[in-house]
Structure 1
């Protein structure tokens, strides 16, 4: 395997990983930001208050976007495995 091919495959892997993880990361970031603002406004400093809403949001995102994430990951893996003879 040539090094340029390995670098290209690794780059494609990183792009797919970022695209798949983006909905979950963005949602938990936004929920965390909203909860933090509410904590500052109400002066309630409870650690579980930030954890529980982010956990619920993450579960909801996985329920909604999970099939899309799994489909994208399966397509990438299928394409990668199918092209193994071309890589040699």
Structure 2
């Protein structure tokens, strides 16, 4: 059902570097799952085409923190208006 909602909203997941799973039950033989992810729409992707997500090591939690970087690039730079003295 969640995937149907994601599809109906035209969202897609950003590739996550640093590993596949974001949660562990912290046991000797752990159960690991991907519970956390970053979803974007096409407008976001056009505005921030270099967006990325990176999973970093967990210390106190059973979830890995995710670092989002938009790497914002201004695609349409406007020229500054200048006046000359006559």
The answer to which structure has the higher strand fraction is 2
TM-score by length of 2: 0.22
Which of these two proteins has the greater Rg computed from alpha carbons? 2
- Structure having the larger proportion of residues in helix: 1
- TM-score, structure 1 as length reference: 0.22
Higher relative contact order (CA 8 A, sep 6+): 1
